[in-house]
């Protein structure tokens, strides 16, 4: 496969004044085809903040525990979490829907819960951009309760992306396993696949990569250490490739479960054209963003800091890497789409 088009796409990207470093790693499932592009000192073994790609790891744990018979996607969230946490979490049009929340509601982002990270005048994102801070799970729950849900759980064919859905899934995983999320990740994913450079920072002193916001390099170890299940993972492009192949290749859990997960829902308009399935994103390639020149779809996840890990089934290609720019979360999505359309 010619890589000239990949080179041109990356070269155009790094001309942006906001791209200070970038890494791209492309392979097919077997590894017969492999391509990498490294810029600004970032290589495929350099640490990168996975941000929301971490949700794929949380999804993998949920699916493994399901396969082990320890949970069902139809289980009510109230089965695993204390009532003090859940009390009045989902009040929509004066009706309490909290008891109707299921694991699937969280996994598919169909709970309707608001996103305290992005929503409200003084949202978490704005606060964290100003200074590093630790925001514990209990505070995230409190902030969520202060906002209005967008719809009743699973009543409409739509989704609303909210980190709290995966924060809750992380708590459920810890309850079921009676272990920390860090240990569950290690046992179920890191150790079986020898991911020695992939980890969840357990405290603010654990190393976390620098993030760029426009021209400014910022460090946010306190905040990253409390994101955990929704966005706190650290990895490398090489190890993300190993994980992505395991996730979509059936080596973490039985691939048959994708028959249940392939129910895709449109997210809020600000995230167009992304759709959400059972724990991962889907990006159709045949619409307006590609001027109808693409075919097929991308499945996987991106992160708000510029990270991405997508599989392009039509050409059996994986695109993983990082553009490390927090000011434009759409950058890794557009990059992955361009790479897929160029893969002829």
Is the model's pLDDT at 10 over the cut of 90? Answer: yes
Is the model's pLDDT at 215 over the cut of 90? Answer: yes
Q: Tell which residue, 176, 152, 160, 231, has the closest CA to residue 63.
A: 176
Question: What are the two backbone dihedrals, phi and then psi, of residue 212, each rounded to the nearest 5 degrees?
Answer: -100, 135
Contact in structure between 220 and 208 (CB atoms under 8 Å)? yes
Hey, is 84 helix, strand or coil? helix
Angle at 336 between CA 332 and CA 341, to 5 degrees: 150
Mean pLDDT of 191-213: 94
Residues 301-312 have pLDDT tens digits of 999 999 999 999
Mean pLDDT of 98-121: 97
- From the number of C-beta atoms within 10 Å of its C-beta (0-12, 13-18, 19+), residue 228 rates as buried
Is the model's pLDDT at 292 over the cut of 70? Answer: no
Taking the C-alpha atoms of residue 140 and residue 190, their distance in angstroms, rounded to an integer, is 27
Is the model's pLDDT at 233 over the cut of 90? Answer: yes
Hey, is 218 helix, strand or coil? strand
Is the model's pLDDT at 2 over the cut of 80? Answer: no
Question: Rounded mean pLDDT of the chain?
Answer: 96
- The confidence score (pLDDT) of residue 344 equals 77
Give me 321's structure tokens.
């890497």
Question: How long, in residues, is the chain?
Answer: 344
Is the model's pLDDT at 291 over the cut of 80? Answer: no
In the chain, domain spans: 4-342
Contact in structure between 80 and 329 (CB atoms under 8 Å)? no
Mean pLDDT of 245-273: 97
Domain 4-342 in CATH 3.90.226.10: no
- The confidence score (pLDDT) of residue 1 equals 67
Mean pLDDT of 81-105: 97
- The counts of H helices and E strands in the chain are 12, 14
Is the model's pLDDT at 110 over the cut of 90? Answer: yes
- The confidence score (pLDDT) of residue 251 equals 98
Residue 107 is given by DSSP the state H
Residue 186 pLDDT grade (very low, low, confident, very high; cuts 50, 70, 90): very high
Mean pLDDT of 82-98: 97
């Amino acid at each position: 496969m010619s890589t000239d088009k990949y080179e041109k796409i990356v070269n155009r990207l790094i001309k942006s004044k906001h791209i200070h470093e970038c890494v791209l790693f492309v392979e097919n499932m077997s590894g017969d085809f492999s391509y990498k592009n490294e810029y600004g000192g970032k290589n495929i073994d350099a640490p990168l903040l996975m941000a929301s790609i971490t949700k794929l790891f949380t999804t993998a744990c949920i699916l493994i525990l399901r396969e082990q018979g320890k949970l069902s996607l139809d289980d009510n969230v109230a089965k695993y979490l204390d009532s003090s946490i859940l009390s009045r979490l989902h009040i929509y049009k004066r009706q309490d829907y909290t008891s109707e929340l299921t694991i699937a509601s969280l996994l598919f982002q169909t709970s309707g819960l608001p996103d305290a990270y992005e929503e409200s005048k003084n949202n978490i994102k704005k606060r964290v951009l100003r200074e590093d801070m630790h925001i514990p799970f209990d505070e995230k729950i409190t902030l969520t309760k202060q906002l209005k849900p967008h719809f009743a759980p699973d009543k409409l064919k739509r989704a609303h992306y909210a980190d709290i859905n995966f924060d809750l899934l992380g708590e459920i995983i810890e309850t079921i396993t009676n272990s920390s999320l860090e240990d569950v990740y290690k046992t179920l994913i890191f150790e079986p696949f020898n991911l020695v450079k992939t980890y969840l920072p357990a405290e603010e002193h654990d190393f976390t990569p620098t993030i760029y916001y426009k021209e400014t390099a910022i460090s946010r170890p306190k905040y990253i250490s409390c994101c955990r299940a929704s966005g706190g993972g650290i990895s490398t492009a090489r190890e993300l490739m190993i994980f992505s192949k395991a996730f979509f290749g059936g080596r973490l859990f039985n691939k048959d479960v994708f028959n249940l997960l392939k129910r895709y829902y449109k997210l809020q308009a600000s995230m167009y054209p992304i759709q959400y399935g059972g724990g991962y994103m889907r990006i159709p390639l045949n619409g307006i963003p590609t001027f109808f020149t693409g075919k097929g779809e991308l499945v996987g996840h991106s992160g708000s800091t510029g990270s991405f890990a997508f599989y392009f089934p039509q050409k059996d290609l994986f695109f993983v890497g990082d553009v490390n720019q927090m000011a434009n979360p759409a950058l890794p999505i557009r990059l992955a789409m361009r790479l897929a359309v160029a893969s002829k």
